[in-house]
Amino acid sequence: MGVGERIGRGNTADIYALGSKQVLKVFRDPKLLDLERNISTAIEELAVGAPTFYGTVETDGLKGLAYERILGTSMLEILMSKPEKAAEYGCQLAQLHAKLHSIKATGRLESIKSRLAYMISGIRHVCFEPLREVIESRLSELPGGDYLCHGDFHPGNVLLSQRGPVVIDWMTAVCGPAQADAARTIIILRHAVLPAEHPEVVIQMFAQLRTILLQTYEDTYLGLTGYSREELAKWELPLMAARLGESVPEEEQRALLDIIQRQIN
């Protein structure tokens, strides 16, 4: 089975067609292959409905991880052309997330507190240094947990296929309190900035629909799980801090730093 055309490109990897029913994820940093292979093995064992994981494949001079090819369009892409679906997709997103959070992942994945501590320790931003100690202290006081957390759950990582919605891109999966994972999704829905290459009309449309998407996601999720907004809000400070270490636009970084500073001061 040979490698076909490149069909996707993310922050860390390129996605190639591998025959007609699989894709090959090739990492630009080879060290990430082992990390994701271990996570994908755990996700496969948990049987959460993610794309089937086939393991490491080396072919046509490329080495990567092979996955089932899901034919579908992401919620985010559909929303860009059909913003009237924002409320429907906000509810559906919450239902999917609550279902994932019913799965125990103890001992299979790194803890979310450990992951956040590592990410926060690596942030090298002059404005962040005065805030680091307080944030690390707040994180240490938060509870652990044993539920499956996707770590980057948002409309761009949900494909709508013939077999129904499929959650993809599990590289960030961890184990922890469900409230932390939901709080991360709320932060993304509220603050994520679209890349500048998008047309201005698309950026403005997204700004309008995100309010509806966020409200329906949050209301539905809290209604399904019985958690409170206060339980989720306790995680916002370390989650926003950790996001500063990701490849996010400068506009979003500035906004998050401003919120963190106001929360601490």
Residues 259, 239 contacting (CB under 8 angstroms): no
* Token pair recorded at residue 93: 């997103």
Lowest mean pLDDT among 30-39, 80-89, 198-207, 217-226: 198-207
Alpha-carbon 24 to chain mean position: 20
User: Binning pLDDT at 50, 70 and 90, where does residue 203 land?
Assistant: confident
User: Binning pLDDT at 50, 70 and 90, where does residue 248 land?
Assistant: confident
Nearest to 169, CA basis, from 4, 8, 6: 8
- Distance separating alpha carbons of residues 10 and 68, to the nearest angstrom: 17
- Distance separating alpha carbons of residues 171 and 108, to the nearest angstrom: 13
Decide if pLDDT at 196 tops 70.
no
CA of 153: how far to CAs of 31, 66, 157, 215, in Å? 23, 21, 6, 16
Please name each of the domains of the chain with its CATH number: 3-68 (3.30.200.20), 72-264 (3.90.1200.10)
Overall size of the chain counted in residues:
265
DSSP H or E run through 62: strand 62-68
- Distance separating alpha carbons of residues 185 and 150, to the nearest angstrom: 10
pLDDT, the chain, mean: 93
Query: Sign of the CA dihedral 15, 18, 21, 26?
Result: negative
Decide if pLDDT at 198 tops 80.
no
pLDDT value at position 170?
Answer: 96
Mean pLDDT along residues 173-184: 98
C-alpha triplet 235, 239, 240: angle, nearest 5° = 120
Question: What percent of the chain is helix, strand and coil (3-state, nearest 5)?
Answer: 50, 20, 30
Decide if pLDDT at 197 tops 70.
no
Mean pLDDT along residues 84-111: 96
User: Binning pLDDT at 50, 70 and 90, where does residue 129 land?
Assistant: very high
Would you list the DSSP string of 174-192?
EEE-HHHHHHHHHHHHHH-
Higher pLDDT, 10 or 69: 69
pLDDT value at position 85?
Answer: 96
pTM attached to this predicted model: 0.93
pLDDT value at position 9?
Answer: 85
Residues 213, 86 contacting (CB under 8 angstroms): yes
